[in-house]
Every structure is written in structure tokens, then in C-alpha cells.
Structure 1
Amino acid sequence: MITMLLRVLGREYAGRVRRTVALMTATALVEGASYALLVPVLRALFGGSPGEARPWLLAFGAAVAGYAVLRYVSDRSGFRAGTTMLHGMYDRLGDHLARLPLGWYGPGRVGEVSVLASQGVLRAMSVIAHLLAPFLSACVTPLTIVGVMLAFNWQLGLAALAAAPVVVAIQLRTARATTATDTERVGREREATGRVIEYLRAQPVLRAGGRTAERFGLLDDALADQQLASRRATLSALPGVLGLAATVQAVFTGLLALGAYLALGQDIGAAEVLAVLVLAARCADPLLSLAEIGGSLRAARAELARLDEVLRTEPLPEPAEPLRPSGHDVEFDSVTFRHGDRTVTDAVSLAVPEGQRLAVVGPSGAGKSTLLQLLARFYDVDAGAVRVGGVDVREMATAELMARVAIVFQDVYLFDGTIEANVRLGRPDATDAEVRAAGAAALLDEVVERLPGGWSAHVGEGGALLSGGERQRVAIARALLKDAPVVLLDEVTSALDPVSEAAVHTGIERLMKGRTVVMVAHRMRTVRRADRVVFLEDGRVVEQGSHDELLRRCGRYAAYWDLTVVAGGG
């Protein structure tokens, strides 16, 4: 487990972890060795000269005091190490999640990451702070005491040592029995978390459907499955707990019987038998705690394994010697991209000269948005190349690529902060005047003027306090402030009302002016202003040319245009 812990945390924590483990082990050894002094203490007290116990009592007191100091130091070291590692783990996990390709964030990942980043990290990092010291004490202290027994009386020592393989066997069997149920329990926890998130997000739909008084069946089922899985996990661990308790009790009873037999045969005195029983009783508590500690350690190890799996997921590779583009033109060169077994884009070749606009049109599922994501390197292509300024995006540093690209999505996500803070994400070092100018260009100033608090108005989680059109204006202002030479637009007006659409179009026109633009659009109003139009279907380029040229050909684009205009989308 320590090896996995260091792999998850990173090697920079190796020295601290090893020092903490060594300190905790030394503490457990001193605790066990201190009980050796009970033998001469009890022998003197129950012998003919009780006064001879005084120096042994002082020695025992000094040993206990030394153990207390060591325990304090080791516990403090464990807490400090655990706190430091917790911060480090959150930083490392956050940095790694930010570098993973967006394709990794598939269905179910929200619940999985939510559980992992909250309960998972805390449970895994609790190993050093809360679990390692009692575990080492439960293992090392009884073994040390058994060593004392062997040195004192080999028969009683061997009898106590016989329990060791039984305890190990019980722990191993319990671990095997609970592995499957623990895995199921964690899976059900993830499912339940995902369903809770889904339930919260689905509130507008549920209320619009008049189902606010009904139970949400999927969530109820997930919670019921989680409860059953937790019950099965508890029941699977129960035989181990009972077996361990029975073993400890049987060994203690056996030692009592053997001690009595040896005492009756005058091979050992009553004081020695009493000392052995005291030592055996002292072994019982940590051994019995192994059941609980073992369960917690298995749970922590499972979380460590899941963290390790996430951290082993390869992010998109960074070039060893990144190249800088010489311009801002865009090229898709025989680009093929597959998602699972599905080919999303198939040998797509397109070129957008610097400063021109390309509109990508086609039915849903044609691969339009995927082209934008490949250009922004949310994924890497399976074949071909995507180039900006003549340089393959895979050969550019991520920061360099992101500095050259501004993206406005159809679904805008805003962070729970002020309008100004969300706009400043485009360029955090911008002056107030630059932020206001970007807002005015995006017609965001109209929104700001009517909101209480103005630029300091909070947008709510995800921008929930703003309308769709208002969120789009924030996104356009953010992109304008960024002032990137390449602009990617993904159906930004498809779900807006006419008034909001008109305002957003004004902001988009200002955003596109003088920049290289690749836009995915359903609204033909935007397409007409493009320098070149591409019709995409089933991941392939079916037609391309200017808007007027494609209409004259009377092909797939013309049919799509007529259908859209008839449907009122023009």
C-alpha cells in the first residue's frame, strides 16, 4: 500500500512517508517492549520482597513516558504528513484532470469524479494521518509482546505465537471476501451520486412536466441499490470480525490453561502466570482492532487504486520542442477521428485562409462540433493533421494554442462569481477599461445596466441567474477580451429568441471581424456571411464552396437550405 500511496502522491513525498512509517514502527516497538518490565514488577510484588518492585516500577514508568512522547511525535508527524499530502493530492488530481482529453469525460464520469475528489481523496489520505499508526501498533506491538513471552517462557511464548498464522489467515480471507462487495458498493455510490446530480439538473424538466410530487424512480433505485450493496459489504466482513474475536478469546483461554498447568507442575510461579496473562490481555485489544482497521485500510486501498487509475490515464502529450505558428490560417488535412467504434470524421480536408470565415453546415451527428474540438485539441486525431499557421496542433504547446483560439459554445458555462470575473477569464490582466469595452462590443453593457450590482452582479452556478442570451453575451465579451486571432463558434444562436439572437449576432460580427473563423451553424443568416461553406454528412465533406455556388449546384446544401428556410431558420 505504501508503494501505491507514493506512486499516487509523487516521489517528492517518499522521504516524509518513510520517516513517518519508521517513527510509528519505533513507537509500536517501544510500547511492546515496555510491557516486558511488568514481569519483574509482578514477580517482586507477589514474591517475598515487594520492595524490590520499586526500581522496576520506576523503569516501567520511564518506558511508558518515553512511549507517550514517541506516540505524540509520531501522531503529530502523521497528521502533518496527511495534511500536506491532502493538499498535494488535490493539486495533483486537479492539474491532471485539467490535462485529460475531453473524451475521457464520458457518461458517468461526473459522479465518479465527484465521489473520488471528495470521499475518495479524504479516505485515501487518511492512511497516513489516522490508519497507519493504529495498524502498525496492532501488528508490531503484539509481536513484540510475544517476543517478550518467548524470552520469559518458551512454552507460553510458542502458544501465543501460534495465533499469528490464524490471525493472518482470517485477515486474508476477509480481504478476499470483501473485495467484490467493496467494489460493488463503490460502484453503487458513484451511480447514486450521478443520479443525485441528474435529479438536481432535471428539476426544470420535472417541474415543467408536473412531476414535482412524484418520486424520481432512477434516483430511488440507485439509492436502494447503494443501501443493499452497503449491507452486503457489512455482512461479508462479519465472519472475519467474529473469527478474529473467537481466535483471540481461544488463545487467551489456552494461555490461561497452559499457565495453570505449568504452575501446578511448579515449572512457573503464580506471579509469572499473572504477568503472562496481563501481557496476553494487552495483545488482545490491538488484535481485535485489526478487523476495523483492516476494513478501513481496504477501503482506503481501493480509493488509492482508483486514484492511481485516474492519474495513470495519459493526458494529451506535450511536444518536447514546441513550434510557434507563423500565421493564423487553419487547415484540416485528411483528418480522421474515431470515438469508440464510430468514425466521427473521415478523411476531412479543409482550408481556411487567415482572416476568412468558414461555415460548417450539416445534419445533427455529422461531426461538425468535432471539427472545432479537434482544432482546439480537445482530442487528438487518429489520422491526418490539424494545423494552425502551418503547424500541427500536436506540435504546439497547449498554452500557445489556447492563446491563439477563442471559443464560444452553444451551451455556455459560467462560474459562480460576478459578471466581470467571468469576462476576465478571457484575459485576467486586462484593465477595467478593456473589460468595459469588450462588454460594450458584445452588447453586454445593456445587461449590466439593468442588473442590481452591475458588473459585480453574481451569475449563479453555471450562470443560472442569467438567460441564455445573456450568458452568450458574457461568452462573446470574454472572447473579445481575449483577442485571439482564431475564433471558433459552435451554433451559438440556435436556441435563442429573436431579440437575443439579434443582440448576439451583433456581438459575433464584432468578434469575427479581421479574424480566422470556423463556425458551426444552423441559422442561415450567419452562413450567408461566410467566405466558404462546407456541407458535412456522416463525417465526410459532401460539398464545399461559397453560399451562392452551392445553391446553384442544387445539391445537398441547397436542399438543406430550402428545408431550413421553410422551417423558419433563415
Structure 2
Amino acid sequence: MVDGRVGLRALTPYLNRYRGTLTVVAVLSLAAAGAALLQPLLVRRVLDGVTASRPIAGPVSVLVSLLLIGAALRGFRDYLLQRTAEGVVLTTRRRLARHLLMLPIAEYDHRRTGDLLSRVGADTTLLRAVVTSGLFEIVTGVVMVGGALIAMAVLDPLLLAVAVAALAVGLSVAMLASRRVRGLSEQAQARLGEMTSAVERAISAARTIRAGRAEEREAATVAEGAEQAYAAGVRLAKLEATVGPAADTAIQGAFLVVLGVGGARVASGAIGVGDLVAFILFLFFLAMPLGQALHAYTQLQTGLGALQRIEEMLALPAEKAGDSTRTPEASGTTTPAVTFDGVSFAYPGEGLVLHDVSFEVPRGSRIALVGPSGAGKSTILALIERFYDVTGGTVRVGGHDVRDLPRDALRAQLGYVEQEAPVLAGTLRDNLLLTAPHATDAELIAALEEVNLGGLAERSPEGLGVQVGEGGVLLSGGERQRLAIARALLTGAPILLLDEPTSNLDARNEAALRAAIATAAERRTLIVVAHRLSTVVDSDRIVVVEDGRVVAAGPHHELLDASPLYRELATHQLLVS
């Protein structure tokens, strides 16, 4: 986590690559400010010329030229700023999205998806205002204010003192209020993230919610989140509404005071009409940048609040590539494909879920993990993939401690199908290419046929380009599971991990998939988690897990006699009488 609040220095990494463009923007801003500051002096010269009946064509031409040049400079500057701001947002989104995808699996277990989406979307968008309405308006405002103060001091020091006093009263109130903007902005963004999480939850479970007639309850949950976001937004709006009128009142008051005092000084002959008009124009160039700078400061605080949330995510440590850069050496056929040696494991903040688990998976064998729900079977597969590191003991793949292997090298040896295997929105081809980006269409179709899914590409003229819908909604549960298995087969990994591969299959497709798994077992090492014992009775070895412990291991016929738990499971599933 980020210690304390981020400051302007935290923006440096986001702006470094645009230093050249920002330098040009700074030069254009200074040039535009200079052109603006010359205009009151030219107006005074025009007025003095009219009063003295002198030719004014020259000063008027220069004044018009300065107006046009200033407009062109500001237009080009604003374009560069907008383009830079979009570049900052793009770079930040790329960096943040990549970092989120590289976080340890444990981070996803206790973070809400909607909040993560809000940080990538809404929070990064607020950075645009930091560039376009923040830093450079403040910098340009300083230049304008400085130039105007010098010119006003030369024209009439007394009027300057009167104007500054009038401005100071209102702007001080606005500054005090704007200091609270950042905290309220952070709260508003947090509430927005919570509301997005509620919407994401409701949409992802739309069918379950509709079937359970829970629409109104879920709508109320989303509405509550929306109301909290609304309340936070209103608090922020109230504060911002204080800043704007206070600044406007200060500016208007200053103009009125200057007009009154300046009119009296013109009447007394202390200054001329041209001097008063020029002074008022300089006052405008003083007050306008102050108001803009105050607004920019408010925008900057809002952007820094969003940056705080972004930096909090980026500060989370990414999953390490591995503690070693060496690639695993080829092992002999006698080396077990997978070994668990006295493994204990606890999820963060919880008690042990695995206790001194030990077993071996010979290369080329088919091993099944069975036992009651919650026994720790899926956790065993997660430790092989090194989604988590063991609390105690050692997990070896190919004779190597998984902690000594780069994660990419480890996972290149593993094909993994999780229990609720996700299907990505897009086409059938997109899903298959996820694990094998260079596979040909022929290879993709062969993988589908291997899991009895060859007809899926023939349903539509698009073939492999047929859409599968959000989360695979256009497929049946069994088709989604088999598509995930085909995806794993395409990796060509020598070790295949299947977590409940037949949980969503009917009897016909289960038999077909069992045949496909048997075929795959001829070329791979298989570790299968199963509740249906009928799918694993022909495994080389069955490991029985209960309460995080291995309580028995052996082939089906031996376990029926040696393991009361296994015999109970088999009896309940009508495998024995």
C-alpha cells in the first residue's frame, strides 16, 4: 500500500515520456501569456491616440494581430495538452491493466471486481484533468498574475493595493474550501467502485437472480450503492460550489472597487482614462488566471485522489516470475512428474487446509484425487500451478521444487482446467487460441474433436468464428467444460490437471470425454479431481483426501477394502452394493 498521500512528484513517471511535448506546451503558454499582457498597453495607446487625435491604425493592427496570434497559440497548446492527456490515460490504463493481471491469485480472492474495473476506467480518466486543467493552468496563471502585478504596480500602486485586498478576502475562503476537495474526491471514487462492484455482481448472475425472483432485492442493493455514490458526489459538489462563487465574488468585488476608486482618481487627475482602462484590463488578466488556477487546483486535487487509488494498486507486489532464471533440466522417466513432500498450506488469514500431504505422481500415469467437498483437492492443483506457495513442505514438478522454477517455465509443463472453467466472450477460435496463439484451424478442430465437440464449429457458417457469448452463455454447461479441456490439450503440456472435468456432462458426453481423457493419458501425466468416482475408477492410482489429509491411496479395487471413506463414497454413487 502507498504510505501517506501521493503528491505532485508522483505524477513525474506519468509525464516523463512527454517531456518534449510539454516543453513545447510551456513555451506556447508563455508566448500566449506574453501576447495577452501586451494587449492592455496597446489599448491604452489607442485610447491616448484617440484623445490626442493621433493616428491609431498601427496600434490597432498590432492589437488585432496579437489577438489572433494569442488565439492560435492557445488553440495549438490546448490540442497538444489534450493529446498528451489522452496519452497519459492510455499509458496508465495499459500499465494498470497489465499489473492487475500480474497480481498474485490471493489478491483476487478478497478484492471486488467492480472496484478494480473502476480504477482502470473512472480513476484513470480523472488523470486527464490533471494535465489539461491542472498543472499548466496553474503554471500559466502564475506567469499571467506576475506580469499583471508588475504592470499594475507601474500604472498605479494605490489601485493595485485596493485590488489585491479585495481579491484576497474571497480567494482565501475559496482556497480553504478547495483543500478538502481531495479527500471528498477519494471518497466519491471509492463509493463509485463499490457501486460498480454491485452492478457487476448483479449482471454476472442475471439468470440466477431472475430464476430466484431476486430482481428487486438486487436492484435495491445496486440502488443503495448508487445512493452512497450520489451522497459522496453531492458532498463534493457542495464543496466545489463554495469554491466557485467565492472566487467569482472576489473577482467581481475587486472590479467594482477598482472602478469606484479608479473613477475618483481619474476625476482628480491622478491618472488618465487610458491608464484606468489598461489597469482594469490588467486586473482582468490578474483575476481570470487566479480563478482558473483555483479551479485547476481543485481539479488537481481530484486527479491526485484518483492517482492515490491507482498508486495503491501499482504498489501491490506482482506475482514474481520465479526465484530462479534457470530452465528445468530434462528428467529421466523414473523421476516422478509431481511430488508432494510433507506439504502444509493455509490461505492468508485462515487456518491450515492441508496437513502434511505426501504422494507421488509417476510420469505418464493417471492419478485421481477424491474425497468430500472442501477436503482440499482443488487446493492441491492450485499449489502445483503455484497460484499459492506452500506453508510447509515441498511441491516438486519433474524433480524440481516449484519455487526454484520460473513460473512461465513451470506452467509451460502444465495444462490446467479449473472447476468452473471460464469461457471468454468472443469467438470459438478466440477461446482456443488463448493457450495456443499460433495453432492452425486444423489443430483447433482436432482438439475439439478430441473432446467430442467437433460439431460445435459446424453449427454456423462462421465455423470457428461463431460467437460463444459473454461467459459462454451460448454454450451448454458441458460444452463450456469440454471447450476448456480442449484449450488445455492445445498447450501440449506433458502434465494435465483437471478439476472436476465431468461435473457438467450428461452420461453420453461423459463417456466420450472419458475416452478422450484416456487417449490423452497415453501421452500425458494426468491428475484428475473428481466427485464422480465412475470417471476415475480406471485410474492408475486414487488418492483419497479428507480434511486436508491423505487418508488412503491405491487402485479402485484395493481402496474398496482398505478405505472406509472411499467405500462409503462408492456405495453412495452405486458403484458397489
Q: Deviations over 1:197-217 (max 9, x none)?
A: 222222212322345678722
Query: Which amino acid is the alignment partner of residue 250 of structure 2?
Result: T
Q: What is the aligned partner in structure 2 of residue 331 from structure 1? A: 339
Q: Deviations over 1:42-64 (max 9, x none)?
A: 5524642443x444434434443
Maintained 8 Å contact 1:442/1:476: yes
The answer to whether residue 177 in structure 2 is matched with residue 174 in structure 1 is yes
Offset, 1:469: 0.8
In 2, the alpha carbon distance for the partners of 1:265 and 1:486 equals 98
Q: Deviations over 1:515-545 (max 9, x none)?
A: 2222222111233233333333444444444
1:107-118 map, 5 Å: 107-118=110-121
Q: What is the aligned partner in structure 1 of residue 383 from structure 2? A: 374
1:19-34 map, 5 Å: 19=23, 22-23=26-27, 25-27=29-31, 29-34=33-38
Q: What is the aligned partner in structure 2 of residue 70 from structure 1? A: 73
Q: What is the aligned partner in structure 1 of residue 349 from structure 2? A: 341
**Which of 221, 228, 237 is the equivalent residue of 1:218?**
221
Maintained 8 Å contact 1:177/1:237: no
Offset, 1:223: 2.1
In 2, the alpha carbon distance for the partners of 1:63 and 1:145 equals 17
Q: Secondary structure at the match of 1:216?
A: helix
**Which of 392, 401, 411 is the equivalent residue of 1:392?**
401
Q: Deviations over 1:289-344 (max 9, x none)?
A: 45544443333222222222212211112247512223471233444443331034
Q: What is the aligned partner in structure 2 of residue 522 from structure 1? A: 531
Q: Secondary structure at the match of 2:364?
A: coil
Larger CA deviation: 539-548 vs 161-170: 161-170
Offset, 1:496: 3.2
In 2, the alpha carbon distance for the partners of 1:412 and 1:288 equals 55
Alignment CA distance shift 1:500-1:380 (3 Å): same
Alignment CA distance shift 1:176-1:368 (3 Å): farther
Maintained 8 Å contact 1:336/1:382: yes
In 2, the alpha carbon distance for the partners of 1:212 and 1:35 equals 64
**Which of 35, 44, 53 is the equivalent residue of 2:48?**
44
Alignment CA distance shift 1:250-1:450 (3 Å): closer
Maintained 8 Å contact 2:368/2:541: yes
Offset, 1:147: 2.6
In 2, the alpha carbon distance for the partners of 1:360 and 1:537 equals 10
Percentage of pairs with the same residue: 31
In 2, the alpha carbon distance for the partners of 1:331 and 1:128 equals 54
Q: Deviations over 1:6-64 (max 9, x none)?
A: 33x385x152464255335424532553345246425524642443x444434434443
Alignment CA distance shift 1:167-1:413 (3 Å): farther
Query: Which amino acid is the alignment partner of residue 124 of structure 1?
Result: L
In 1, the alpha carbon distance for the partners of 2:15 and 2:547 equals 44
**Which of 490, 493, 496 is the equivalent residue of 2:505?**
496
In 2, the alpha carbon distance for the partners of 1:324 and 1:212 equals 52
Q: What is the aligned partner in structure 1 of residue 3 from structure 2? A: none
In 2, the alpha carbon distance for the partners of 1:413 and 1:94 equals 19
Q: TM-score, normalised by structure 1?
A: 0.88
The answer to whether residue 157 in structure 2 is matched with residue 150 in structure 1 is no
Q: What is the aligned partner in structure 1 of residue 198 from structure 2? A: 195
Alignment CA distance shift 1:554-1:536 (3 Å): closer
Offset, 1:111: 0.7
Maintained 8 Å contact 1:318/1:395: no
Larger CA deviation: 126-135 vs 236-245: 126-135
The answer to whether residue 440 in structure 2 is matched with residue 431 in structure 1 is yes
Q: Deviations over 1:226-280 (max 9, x none)?
A: 2222222212322222222222223223333442444355332232122211222
**Which of 238, 259, 262 is the equivalent residue of 1:259?**
262
Larger CA deviation: 54-63 vs 221-230: 54-63
The answer to whether residue 100 in structure 2 is matched with residue 92 in structure 1 is no
Query: Which amino acid is the alignment partner of residue 109 of structure 2?
Result: G
Offset, 1:90: 2.9
Alignment CA distance shift 1:151-1:382 (3 Å): farther
Between the two proteins, the alignment pairs up a number of residues equal to 565
Maintained 8 Å contact 1:416/1:461: yes
Maintained 8 Å contact 2:25/2:80: no
Maintained 8 Å contact 2:368/2:539: yes
Offset, 1:465: 0.4
Offset, 1:445: 0.9
Maintained 8 Å contact 1:127/1:297: yes
Maintained 8 Å contact 1:523/1:569: no
In 2, the alpha carbon distance for the partners of 1:165 and 1:25 equals 25
**Which of 293, 297, 300 is the equivalent residue of 2:300?**
297
1:158-557 map, 5 Å: 158-162=161-165, 169-211=172-214, 216-290=219-293, 292-319=295-322, 321-325=324-328, 326-327=330-331, 329-343=337-351, 344-450=353-459, 453-557=462-566
In 2, the alpha carbon distance for the partners of 1:227 and 1:569 equals 61
Q: Secondary structure at the match of 2:152?
A: helix
In 2, the alpha carbon distance for the partners of 1:261 and 1:337 equals 86
Maintained 8 Å contact 1:316/1:380: no
The answer to whether residue 126 in structure 2 is matched with residue 123 in structure 1 is yes
Q: Secondary structure at the match of 2:369?
A: strand
RMSD: 3.2
In 2, the alpha carbon distance for the partners of 1:459 and 1:61 equals 63
In 2, the alpha carbon distance for the partners of 1:448 and 1:189 equals 41
In 1, the alpha carbon distance for the partners of 2:151 and 2:516 equals 82
Q: TM-score, normalised by structure 2?
A: 0.87
Maintained 8 Å contact 2:18/2:84: no
Q: Secondary structure at the match of 2:497?
A: strand
Larger CA deviation: 388-397 vs 287-296: 287-296
Maintained 8 Å contact 2:339/2:397: yes
In 2, the alpha carbon distance for the partners of 1:24 and 1:364 equals 68
Maintained 8 Å contact 1:146/1:160: no
Q: Secondary structure at the match of 1:105?
A: helix
Maintained 8 Å contact 1:403/1:484: yes
